[in-house]
Amino acid sequence: MNHSCFDKTAYRAAKDRIIELIKNSHDWKNTEGFIADGIICPNEYEKQSVRILCILAESYGYDGCEVTYIETQPIDDVLGLSNPTVQTPRKLSTLLWLLQQSFEQGSKIKWDDMPWLFTINKDNTDKLQKTLSKVAWVNVKKASQPIGTKMDPEEVYVHALRNQTILCEQIQIISPHLIIVCGAVAFHALNEMKLLGSEVVSGQKWKIQDVNDGPLVLEVSHPSTWRGYEKLYGNFEDIYAQMDCRLARFQFFG
């Protein structure tokens, strides 16, 4: 387990350094605009009994926007929660909502109490915005892709390796208890660089890996492939059962 505390002041200073590192290695003013990712709301993140970092492959639509700060998510919805053509943020946030609510009430959210959060409306979006305000969100590839393009796995992998120093510092300063890695490409790149822990292995989707003194690591399939509420709820039940026996640790360590 990661027993280190989250330091909000140190995080803010580190984020400034990280942004400069990205700028120095990207054509950010022209073709490689990026979301300055990380913690969406540090004030909320530091309050969480279980600090969660979500790691994904890449973003879309910010290639010509120079720098877009992820802290504007609650106002500008940079991740696209309210966009009907974007699946990943809404589906992943629904899983996060189930986990967060269960952690907060001290018991698993029942199937009958789950709101239908895939439907886009103001109430659902507000719930999911509040959910996202409590987590960190990082892409292994910093340069954003144009809207309408598809992920090139090899390109994402090459960019991730290029960003090794940046990603290492992000993970350390975010100080998560649980890292959820979405998709095989992002997981393979991070694991190849040993950024998830030297003993973390591939081929363990939906199984929490708890090794050494690092954060818990969970590899999941890409959220765009998740089909239906029943499947999502079943995956949530599996994760919560694995977390339940570990939750007491978070009461003693920051």
Residue 130's Cβ-count burial label (10 Å; 0-12, 13-18, 19+) is: middle
pLDDT of residue 1: 40
pLDDT in tens, 38-63: 999 999 999 999 999 999 999 999 99
pLDDT in tens, 158-189: 999 999 999 999 999 999 999 999 999 999 99
Average pLDDT over residues 62-91: 95
pLDDT in tens, 226-254: 989 999 999 999 999 999 877 766 654 45
Q: Judging by DSSP bridges, how do beta strands 38-39 and 136-139 pair with one another?
A: antiparallel
pLDDT of residue 73: 97
3-state DSSP assignment of residue 103: helix
Residue located via tokens 């960003």: 163
91 to 111, 140, 156, 205: CA distances (angstroms): 16, 19, 22, 17
pLDDT of residue 251: 56
Instruction: Report the mean per-residue pLDDT for the chain.
Output: 93
Name the helix (H) or strand (E) containing 52: strand 52-56
Whether pLDDT at 77 is above 90: yes
pTM: 0.95
Q: What DSSP string runs through 148-166? A: T----HHHHHHHHHHTHHH
Q: Answer for the pair 147, 60: CB distance below 8 angstroms, yes or no.
A: yes
d(CA 51, CA 39) in angstroms, rounded, equals 10
d(CA 189, CA 104) in angstroms, rounded, equals 33
CA angle 34/36/37 to nearest 5° reads: 115
Report the CATH number of the 8-251 domain.
3.40.470.10
Closest CA to 244 of 114, 47, 99, 131: 99
pLDDT in tens, 124-158: 999 999 999 999 999 999 999 999 899 999 999 99
Percent of the chain with pLDDT over 90: 88
d(CA 169, CA 197) in angstroms, rounded, equals 14
